[in-house]
Structure 1
Amino acid sequence: MTKDYEDLQCLDTEENGEPIGRDSRLWQELRELRENMTTSNHGLGTELHTLSAADSKLWQELRELSKNTTSSNLGLGTELNTLSAAGHSLDGQVKSLESKLQEQTRIMEEERSRFQLHIQRFLADLRTVQCQITELKDNSSKGTCCPPNWTEHSGSCYWTSRVSKSWSDAKQFCQTENSHLVVINSQDEQKFIQHLTIPALMWIGLTDSDGKWKWVDDTDYNKTPKNWGPGQPDDYYGHGLGGGEDCAHLLSDGLWNDDHCSRSSFRLSSTSAAWRVNSRTEPPLPPRASTDPMPAPWGDPGEDPGGWEGLGWGRVESQARAAPFPRALLPLGPRSPLPALLCEAPSSHPCPAGAWASPLMGGRGRSLSVLEIPAPL
């Protein structure tokens, strides 16, 4: 039967009418195609297996990477938390140190203020004792005892500074010396201040920084004499310093003028300050210095050196010579930035020790000359 079936299969013909047998060309092509497909399938299977293995390895690497990343993130998070805690701790320490520093600074300032107060009281007591000793020696009582280089008038002591300062700095300096910028309470005091300061420009203790003129010691401005120069106060804004003019000073003729409080000089003159204190305050002393000798000749008592004005009598020692001269000398002329010698000793006594600077010696326009005044013997 099988043979008959095979014979029947052989009865099939090729396209050209010839029967198809196992040795025919078409049959061979079919076998080759089947072999090629088998080989291709085998290769695809091998590649699929390889890809599957690679995929499995890749997934394993991805899982390891994810695990490592998670572990690293946890480690970084822990370190970040540690650093954050350390930062907060450090910030707390810094704030604590700042607080301690502020407290120590406050304590030191309080101690410094107390120390300065003790010194001021000690100096005041010492001066009082010195005044009492002087009174006992002279067997007299003057009533007001002013420190050396200060000028007494009507129970108060006055001192003029040669240091240029703004109004606020001058006010502060006076306060540190237990004094204040001069307050002019009467025409008599105004005349005395003019006598003391002309032609220097001096700050006085008068300001309208809050829109109303006030004295630094709260004296009622409306109850004191007014000595403004012509057209003053004008609250001028054209100086380019910002704002108006809120602080008062003495002009070269002794009248008042308002100017910007930040100024430390006026024209070619230096702005100084005049102080008024009671007899129990300690003054700053003028610096000692020495440059040019006194102008010569001085002439006879009562005669003024050229360019100077004499206001009294006394005696001083210069570097070059001893000579009688007016007890109060004031330089004349527009280029007079500093007050000259201001000495209020009686004519029978030498002037107090100290160095007093003045320009325009003898009217010859020198930049600066100094008189060295020795202490009384």
Structure 2
Amino acid sequence: MELPISEKKALLKPLEDLFNDFFPWLAGQYDHENGGFYYAKSSRELQNIEPDIESSAQALNILERYHLIELMPEEMKRKLITFFQQKQDMNTGYFLDRNPNMVDDEVMVARAIGYSTNRLAKFGAKPLYPLPSKDNSAPDYMESIASYRQWLESIDLRNSWRGCDRLGVSAIYLAELPKGIREEYLNTALEFFKEIQDPETGLWGEGSMYVRISGTFKLHTFYSRFQKPLPRSEKIYESIIQCLKSEVATDMCYIRNSINLLDYMEVEISDSDLTTIIEITTANIRKLKREDGGFSREIANSPSAPNVAQVKKGDYYPDMPVAVRLSQGLFEGDMNASTQAVLIHRLCYRLANLDFDYQHPDFEQFYKMVDALRG
């Protein structure tokens, strides 16, 4: 028999208590002049650091998940539209921050297209220039089916997280192809992914359990983009439960990736497993809660360059990207972790088969907080 709603709510209460002082922190990350959101409090104190694409999109994801977007003042909305539009390069169609290192990280570059175009579309706006395409400035590997397959096979998966992240972002470019051609590329990718999936664990690549689950999460974004089910979902589910019980989550991404995969696969979760999942998840997130009200990516500190993943001792990390520094890397909350904590909160409701009816007293005051911090 399924747990009563009251027991599910009681199970979620310790998680929700971690958000009591969260909204003043979020309001403090908005920059009235630039129109975007900063990554962390210490970002403002760094020379030549400004609000960035990922942090701004992540902040808006938070507001959307708490149904606060519809309450946003028109002036703030207009500034955010301009913020994203002005990030686009008129020659290539890519969306880029001013940090010169960003262009050297193919994952960040591809992800910025999705972040920017999705947010502009939700605001009823469009990019100012054409997006990268096969005939424009997409990567060389998109030239043909053969070159795409060759590129897929070239990706180093000795660190599943990084390798699968690179594989997954190719979906951005497939989505821009005409439908008939896109299906050829899509089938090539899905056949390759099936070939290299571990039949025993359902996971992809190598590394620790959390690294492999994180890689599998990164690859799930490819499947999700084209509404495809993950193969061997039951095996992946078993691997996640085993990992939660036996491994220490030292990164907010590890926590989020596990929960996100469980939600996407829509497998049946027993009451016992649900209790285990939410209790362990809450305990893990509590370790990453910070006094400033936000959440940090890592236990020791908030990473100053979130594009460079934490590497656990013994894990291999191929093709380490050049660090894109966004803060001073202090013991503080950051937008990357905070948007993940909010998503985890929402997904735990879904795993518990509950409507997301969370309300916080700061909801009604949020934009007043933002306005009060105007320089």
Instruction: Give TM-score scaled by structure 2 length.
Output: 0.24
Larger Cα Rg: Structure 1 or Structure 2? 1
| Structure with larger RCO (C-alpha < 8 A, sep 6+) | 2
